[in-house]
């Protein structure tokens, strides 16, 4: 099922998408979102894009614009969370000279800049109620009024808005205008998180890994070891594709031996034995004592036999050794020291698990 991935990649290339994070994938959940985006693109109606951080909401907005009849007109972006509440309306609708302190000259807003094109409003849920009311009028009547002016300006703008919030719930709580939500939700595209995109993690990891290897001028791309890829697939990815890209590129650039598959993945770049400790507190000992909980009798895993227990222990031990070897670039003496073993003990453990004579990741 490689053709969907290639097709999406070819489309992105032909459209000239210059984003650093590519719109790639082959899972059913991902391709469904791509198909819905393509179907909505030719419409003039507003579209809401919902998804967790790092899922590619900006890329969906760009795709909606590039596949529409407005592709040759401006695509204007405004991050609603990046501006204070006092400035957001001036950014959206513009202002006249002297409209407020600091307004030394008249300025067109994002709506005017996006005339005949598309306006992408990121982090929509952070808009103030006042800005929401003026946005509703702009969407409803196709006109905006600069701050400090009484003259309405006609604009032809398609709205694409994105958020990671539950807008219907916010509307029920009175934190988002229900009538604005009705106007903006002609279609709603909800992007799947990376953990729900079955089969896409190896594809994206290989793509980002190859690109980083090329940037580092490696002679060839060795791929990832079996343990490293398993750890990538098992990680929950709260930051989704953006986080995956950072983790993969960091792992590749820290790997010194391109003759061996990349064998160590560090998910948290702040993880270090020397990271600053929190300041001591007077009640630290009390808190430490209260945090301790005795093991519960029913909290242990269930094993049907001693054989099951031994298999589980061996698998855990092997994973620890593989991880330590990767972290120490397969230097066995450094690995033994890191695990608190002698060199002979580590060699015995590697032989026990079949790690001594085989190439890691082969």
Task: List, in sequence order, every beta strand (DSSP E) within the chain.
Answer: 47-50, 75-79, 118-122, 143-145, 152-154, 158-163, 187-190
pLDDT of residue 246: 97
Pairwise pLDDT comparison (304 vs 122), residue with the higher score: 122
> Residue 211: is it exposed, middle or buried by C-beta count within 10 angstroms (0-12/13-18/19+)?
middle
Does 297 reside within a domain? no
Pairwise pLDDT comparison (56 vs 288), residue with the higher score: 56
Domain match, 329 and 257 both: yes
Is pLDDT at 186 greater than 70 in this prediction?
yes
* Angstrom distances, CA of residue 201 to CA of 58, 105, 231, 350: 20, 50, 11, 29
Range of the domain at 243: 196-270+308-352
| Percent of the chain whose pLDDT exceeds 70 | 85
CATH of the domain at 340: 1.10.8.60
Domain match, 110 and 229 both: no
Domain match, 181 and 203 both: no
Does 281 reside within a domain? no
CATH of the domain at 124: 3.40.50.300
Domain match, 205 and 172 both: no
Domain match, 218 and 236 both: yes
pLDDT of residue 342: 87
DSSP 250-313: HHHHH---TTS-B----S-TT--TTSPPPPP-TTHHHHHHHH--PPPGGGSPP-SSHHHHHHHH
Does 220 reside within a domain? yes
156, 84, 91, 154: which is closest to 121 by C-alpha? Answer: 91
Q: In this structure, what token pair is assigned to residue 352?
A: 């026990």
Domain match, 247 and 146 both: no
pLDDT of residue 196: 95
Does 344 reside within a domain? yes
**Mean pLDDT for the chain?**
84
Query: What phi, psi does 37 have (nearest 5°)?
Result: -65, -45
Domain match, 155 and 49 both: yes
Q: In this structure, what token pair is assigned to residue 139?
A: 């969407």
Count how many residues are written for the chain: 362
Q: What residues have CB less than 8 Å from 116, skipping those under 6 apart?
A: 70, 73, 74, 156, 157
DSSP state of 238: T
Does 314 reside within a domain? yes
Pairwise pLDDT comparison (351 vs 76), residue with the higher score: 76
Where a domain ends, among 125, 159, 192?
A: 192
Does 359 reside within a domain? no
pLDDT of residue 64: 97
pLDDT of residue 352: 79
Where a domain ends, among 173, 192, 211?
A: 192
pTM exceeding the 0.85 threshold for the entire prediction: no
Rounded to whole angstroms, how far apart are CA atoms 189 and 183? 15
Is pLDDT at 206 greater than 70 in this prediction?
yes
Q: In this structure, what token pair is assigned to residue 174?
A: 């009175």
206, 242, 212: which is closest to 224 by C-alpha? Answer: 206
Query: What phi, psi does 330 have (nearest 5°)?
Result: 65, 20
315, 313, 324: which is closest to 346 by C-alpha? Answer: 324
Does 291 reside within a domain? no
Is pLDDT at 50 greater than 60 in this prediction?
yes
Domain match, 177 and 206 both: no
Rounded to whole angstroms, how far apart are CA atoms 339 and 245? 29
Instruction: Tell me the pLDDT band of 276, cut-offs 50, 70 and 90.
Output: confident
Where a domain ends, among 144, 172, 192?
A: 192
Q: How many domains does one find in the chain? A: 2
Helix/strand/coil for 353: coil
Domain match, 118 and 176 both: yes
pLDDT of residue 329: 67
Domain match, 96 and 220 both: no
Rounded to whole angstroms, how far apart are CA atoms 170 and 326? 46
Q: Check if the beta carbon of residue 353 is closer than 8 Å to that of residue 321.
A: yes
Q: In this structure, what token pair is assigned to residue 82?
A: 């990046």
Domain match, 58 and 185 both: yes
Instruction: Tell me the pLDDT band of 195, cut-offs 50, 70 and 90.
Output: very high
193, 264, 180, 253: which is closest to 218 by C-alpha? Answer: 253
Domain match, 204 and 333 both: yes
Does 25 reside within a domain? yes
């Amino acid at each position: 099922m490689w053709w969907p991935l290639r097709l999406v990649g070819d489309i992105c290339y032909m459209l000239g998408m210059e984003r650093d994070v590519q719109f790639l994938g082959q899972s059913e959940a991902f391709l469904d979102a791509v198909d819905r985006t393509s179907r909505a693109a030719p419409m003039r109606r507003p579209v809401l894009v919902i998804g967790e951080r790092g899922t590619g909401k900006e890329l969906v907005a760009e795709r909606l614009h590039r596949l529409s009849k407005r592709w040759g007109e401006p695509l204007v972006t405004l991050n609603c969370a990046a501006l204070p509440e006092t400035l957001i309306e001036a950014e959206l609708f513009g202002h006249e000279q002297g409209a407020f302190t600091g307004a030394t000259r008249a300025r067109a807003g994002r709506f005017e800049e996006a005339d005949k094109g598309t306006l992408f409003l990121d982090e929509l849920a952070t808009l103030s109620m006042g800005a929401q009311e003026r946005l509703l009028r702009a969407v409803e009547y196709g006109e905006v009024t600069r701050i400090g002016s009484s003259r309405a300006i006609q604009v032809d703008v398609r709205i694409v808005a994105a958020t990671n919030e539950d807008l219907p719930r916010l509307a029920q709580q009175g934190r988002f205008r229900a009538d604005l939500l009705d106007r903006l939700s002609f279609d709603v595209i909800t992007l799947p998180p990376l953990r729900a995109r079955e089969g896409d993690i190896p594809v994206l990891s290989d793509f980002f890994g190859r690109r980083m290897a090329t940037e580092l001028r490696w002679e060839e791309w060795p791929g990832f070891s079996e343990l490293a890829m398993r750890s990538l697939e098992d990680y929950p990815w709260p930051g989704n594709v953006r986080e995956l890209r950072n983790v993969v590129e960091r792992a590749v650039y820290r790997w010194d031996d391109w003759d061996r598959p990349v064998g160590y993945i560090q998910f948290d770049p702040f993880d270090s034995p020397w990271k600053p400790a929190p300041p001591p507190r007077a009640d630290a000992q009390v808190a430490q004592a209260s945090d301790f909980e005795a093991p519960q009798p029913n909290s242990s895993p269930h094993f049907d036999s001693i054989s099951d227990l031994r298999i589980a222990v061996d698998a855990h031990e092997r994973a620890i050794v593989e991880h330590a070897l990767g972290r120490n670039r397969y230097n066995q003496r450094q690995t033994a020291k890191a695990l608190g073993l002698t060199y002979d003990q580590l060699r015995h453990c590697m032989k026990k698990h079949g790690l001594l004579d085989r190439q890691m990741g082969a």
